[in-house]
Structure 1
Amino acid sequence: MRKLATLAGVAFAASVALAPMFGQARPTPPARDPLTPGYPAATELPDGQLPPKNADGNFILGPTHTSVPESLPQTGVPQGSIFEFTMNSPDSKLYPGIAREPGTFGTVDPAEPSKLIVTTSHPAPYSRKVSVYIPKQYIAGTIAPFIVGADGPDRTLFTVLDNLIAQKRVPAMIAISISNGGGDAQGSERGLEYDTMSGRYAEFVETEVLPEVEAKYHVKLTKDPDGRATTGGSSGGSCALIMAWYHPELYHRVLTYSGTYVNQQWPYSAETPHGAWEFHEHLIPNTTRKPLRLWLEVGDRDLLNPNIMRDEMHDWVLANEKMAEVLAAKGYHYQFVFARNAGHVDQAVRRQTLGEALEYVWQGYVPVTR
């Protein structure tokens, strides 16, 4: 079965490479089987059923993905306030801005197929929006837990929080949804921010974003890492884990959809030569367990090798399956959902699961007054 899956991957990779040459859209990746030999064992749930909110482990979901009430505005539920402000690259000490020339990507290093050479990236300005959700239940002057999200604004997150907070299923938290600096993958500002294996993005949030939020909206954000969460999809998902991994003194709770735990870092780093693929290849297995709680999802039609690199480190399904395997081996509290009939950061899956995911990630939280 693994051999068949590999042959399908080779054929798909070839079609991906050839499609742009003929002016065609990239083909849909083939559906992968969660029962493939080598994938960790998982509990298959009845269609429409979600995992228990307090259960660690691996679960198979679908194929029907119906929005749960928590993902939709509900009559009589207090709605939080949503604010927005703009940040400009000239004001940033950590991210002054880059961009990759349109229509370019990079070339594979002939001496190392896992390394991409990008020559068309250069300094460039950007502006980004930051959306801030403050729940109706927030009491002015008190210290609040919060969640930081990538690729904002995230209206689904805000709606789900309205409903869960009203039902007392999660704490009354502030949500800070930060848009990226533009572009995607190697050589872009978004790729630099989200795919770099370092603490820089968490430091950017800590020193440049959070102080602005507190000053503009007169809120107090907790310093307790147990009261801080990160979330995102795709490279925003790997970024969410990168933030907590390199700064566990800042974040303990991580929630990702279709996390880009693949080889997409640029510039190249000898310390983490395979980018976020290093999480399941070396970092998690070889590092003492960190105080993190994680929720992860991947779809059966998630991304598969959608670029010129042929290093066998660009299969999002395999990467997330490997994440589940190493997290279990190290004894982490985690929940992994494999969604049937689902694509990359599938919004139907997200509207079905985000409420349960937030409950799982926030279980055990006890507020502190600092």
Structure 2
Amino acid sequence: MKFLSLLFCAFTVSITAAEPEFPLTADSKPQADVAKGTLIKDSYTASESSVFPGTVREYQIYLPAGFDKAQPAHFMVFQDGVIYQAPVVFDNLIAKKDIPSLVGIFIKPGVVPAANDNALPRFNRSYEYDSITPTYSKFLIEEFLPAIEKKHAISLSQDPNHAAISGNSSGGICAFMVAWHRPDRFRRVFTGVGTYVGIHGADQLPVLVRKIEPKPLRIYLQSGTGDNNLYCGDWWMANQMMERSLAWAGYDVNHAWGEGGHNQKHASQIFPDVLRWLWRDWQTDIEVKANPKGESKWKGYEVVEDEKWVAAKESCSYASVITSDSNGDVVWLEENSTHHALFLTRHSSGDNPRRFGESFSPFALHDIAFGKDNCLYVLCSMKATKDTVFKIDRAGQRHDVKFISKDTLAVAFNSVLSIARAGGLVGNWPATEHLPGLSEYGGKITISPDQTTIYQAQQGAEIIAWQYGTNGSLNQRQPYCMLQLDSEAVVNPQSLCVDTEGRLYVATSLGIQVCDQAGRVNFIIPTPKPAHDVCFGGKDLSELFIACGDSIYKRPTKVHGVVSGQQAPIKPAPPKL
């Protein structure tokens, strides 16, 4: 009996270890009557100024039969060199007009040559491919592709709908990340047995896909039950999680699951049909759209319209602080090397920005907010060691208020002005006592719609909540929200604001992260540039504004913001817990 059990176990192992065959179709085999493209082999050495300095990588370029170098070309990039019989498949599918005539670019990962005969080279593959930072996309788009265009006298289309990217295993996650970070350059993606696991943070991706506004990408994934299951994760499960997240978020996504292992066999078999799917309708409708069927469950659509950010003001000297009043007038500080100037714009009536108040030259400006008296309060340092608050009335006249220490400012409807300072919080303006300080805990603050809670950004990824009394007291400090980390494990929260329903909006390196009343990041609104500050403005406070250094952007919303210094407390509905 024991012998039979052992025999059964051995038989079971042999069955589960067997991998099905994946024979190639005719589309992956040379055809006698099909014109052949040409392959150019070369290598590229990165300069010391590169993001991957000193790396050497081999590459090949496929040029289709009859290629016209004078015309910008559709193209497809592959990591790890030539895979999936791609040049042969290109020949056959281009001849059938199933895909456009395109250039293939097959790149191997970088290697830093060995220092001497008794040393190993440094192999960059995992660092380049498995990382979910934008570093490789920067290298590929801003350095490598322009270099080979110049060297080989070819022109690659700048239309992102004309560009595809692919890879297997770590090359697959790399391909996805390039398109994820730069949908302005790549919109079609195929990943075979993609490494969506915890090597350099890719296990975060299924959550990020659900939280970040859908991007204009078309994505095909392949994996199998025999895929890797290692110290960093389960490839088979991770690929399914990615597909489910992409489908939930409304992406144009397809997949092929099988019983194969961690190799190229299954991906090579399906590659011709993958190309047909990625490039479908290329002759009539080449555009890849975000949420093409309108089926996305992204929670951000509860708040923002299905529109993009538009520039409210471009070519600023430098704008990093922005606020608004209850009428929707938006004010920002514009800085140059010699002075600071506040600008006021009434976006509800479409007026052009105009200067609000006189120019002034503080050492540094920390925050601005409107008060109940309709004046704009400005917290700044007039010298390196001297900090003050002044206010500007609607006629543009400046009035000194009181010398005070620095950091952040919020104004409540009951005219309590809260200043974080090294020596403590000053409340009950003008100050009568020093109360427990905020400054030791971090940065900018804002007040909840009911004006009983102060939210404060921390260095890193945490938001702190304080109970806020009408006498300016601060009590019951505790963590409120852990922000979603970005690909480099930092978010750098810059500024905060709230809407009438109690959501908290935080400007971070990932975009505007939006938390519900229970402190959960529900969704993230990407921004065209890194946002330094965020507020509601415009008609009925129904537009979201961001200050991005050299530009001010706005986007319509379905909700309304709060200007706590000019609006009575608002009690939102309780959250769904």
- Same-fold call, TM > 0.5? yes
Name the aligned partner's letter for residue 134 of structure 1: L
* 2:250 corresponds to: 331
* 1:262 corresponds to: 197
Task: Choose from 209, 217, 239 the match for 1:284.
Answer: 209
Structure with the greater relative contact order (CA < 8 A, sep ≥ 6): 1 or 2?
Answer: 1
Name the aligned partner's letter for residue 279 of structure 2: W
Q: How far has the Cα of 1:207 moved from its partner? A: 2.1
Q: Which region of structure 1 is more displaced relative to structure 2, 231-240 or 323-332?
A: 323-332
* 1:84 corresponds to: 41
2:257 partner SS = strand
1:221 partner SS = coil
1:179 correspondence with 2:108: yes
Q: Residues 188, 128 of structure 1: CA spacing in aligned structure 2 closer, same or farther, 3 A cutoff?
A: closer
Confirm or deny: 8 A CA contact 1:228 1:253 kept in the other structure: yes
Q: How far has the Cα of 1:300 moved from its partner? A: 1.8
Q: Residues 29, 343 of structure 1: CA spacing in aligned structure 2 closer, same or farther, 3 A cutoff?
A: farther
Matches within 5 A, 1:10-89: 63-89=20-46
For the pair shown, the structure with the greater C-alpha radius of gyration is: 2
1:189 correspondence with 2:124: yes
Q: What CA distance in whole angstroms lies between the structure 1 residues aligned with 2:271 and 2:186?
A: 19
Kindly indicate which of the two structures has a greater share of residues assigned to helix: 1
Q: How far has the Cα of 1:29 moved from its partner? A: 12
RMSD over aligned Cα, in angstroms? 2.5
1:161 correspondence with 2:85: no
Q: What CA distance in whole angstroms lies between the structure 1 residues aligned with 2:204 and 2:69?
A: 42
TM-score, scaled relative to structure 1: 0.67
1:232 correspondence with 2:149: no
Q: What CA distance in whole angstroms lies between the structure 2 residues aligned with 1:360 and 1:28?
A: 36
Confirm or deny: 8 A CA contact 2:222 2:267 kept in the other structure: no
Q: How far has the Cα of 1:140 moved from its partner? A: 2.7
Q: How many residue pairs were aligned?
A: 264
Q: Residues 208, 164 of structure 1: CA spacing in aligned structure 2 closer, same or farther, 3 A cutoff?
A: same
Q: How far has the Cα of 1:155 moved from its partner? A: 6.9
Confirm or deny: 8 A CA contact 1:145 1:173 kept in the other structure: yes
Confirm or deny: 8 A CA contact 1:92 1:208 kept in the other structure: no
Q: What CA distance in whole angstroms lies between the structure 1 residues aligned with 2:226 and 2:108?
A: 26
1:141 correspondence with 2:70: yes
Q: How far has the Cα of 1:327 moved from its partner? A: 1.1
Matches within 5 A, 1:233-248: 233-248=168-183
Q: How far has the Cα of 1:346 moved from its partner? A: 3.0
* 1:294 corresponds to: 219
* 1:350 corresponds to: 267
Confirm or deny: 8 A CA contact 1:31 1:300 kept in the other structure: no
Confirm or deny: 8 A CA contact 2:84 2:268 kept in the other structure: no
Q: Residues 262, 230 of structure 1: CA spacing in aligned structure 2 closer, same or farther, 3 A cutoff?
A: same
> C-alpha deviations, 1:39-77, integer Å up to 9, x for none?
xxxxxxxxxxxxxxxxxxxxxxx9542210111111021
Q: Residues 256, 294 of structure 1: CA spacing in aligned structure 2 closer, same or farther, 3 A cutoff?
A: same
Q: How far has the Cα of 1:323 moved from its partner? A: 0.9
Q: What CA distance in whole angstroms lies between the structure 2 residues aligned with 1:290 and 1:28?
A: 44
Q: How far has the Cα of 1:85 moved from its partner? A: 1.3
* 1:106 corresponds to: none
Q: Which runs of 5 or more structure 2 residues have no equivalent in the other structure?
A: 1-12, 113-121, 288-577
* 1:109 corresponds to: none
TM-score, scaled relative to structure 2: 0.43
* 1:131 corresponds to: 60
2:281 partner SS = coil
Name the aligned partner's letter for residue 72 of structure 2: I
Q: Residues 135, 196 of structure 1: CA spacing in aligned structure 2 closer, same or farther, 3 A cutoff?
A: same
Q: How far has the Cα of 1:192 moved from its partner? A: 1.2
1:326 partner SS = helix
Q: Residues 362, 28 of structure 1: CA spacing in aligned structure 2 closer, same or farther, 3 A cutoff?
A: farther
Q: What CA distance in whole angstroms lies between the structure 1 residues aligned with 2:188 and 2:150?
A: 25
Q: Residues 364, 288 of structure 1: CA spacing in aligned structure 2 closer, same or farther, 3 A cutoff?
A: farther
1:198 partner SS = coil
Q: What CA distance in whole angstroms lies between the structure 2 residues aligned with 1:155 and 1:318?
A: 23
Confirm or deny: 8 A CA contact 1:63 1:339 kept in the other structure: no
Q: How far has the Cα of 1:91 moved from its partner? A: 5.5
1:298 partner SS = strand
> C-alpha deviations, 1:292-331, integer Å up to 9, x for none?
00011002211001xxx4xxx5100010010111111111
Matches within 5 A, 1:285-324: 285-305=210-230, 309=231, 313-324=232-243
Q: What CA distance in whole angstroms lies between the structure 1 residues aligned with 2:126 and 2:14?
A: 23
Q: How far has the Cα of 1:357 moved from its partner? A: 0.4
Name the aligned partner's letter for residue 272 of structure 2: G
Name the aligned partner's letter for residue 300 of structure 1: T
Q: Which runs of 5 or more structure 1 residues have no equivalent in the other structure?
A: 1-26, 33-61, 97-124, 266-274
* 2:151 corresponds to: 216
1:200 correspondence with 2:129: no
Confirm or deny: 8 A CA contact 1:127 1:181 kept in the other structure: yes
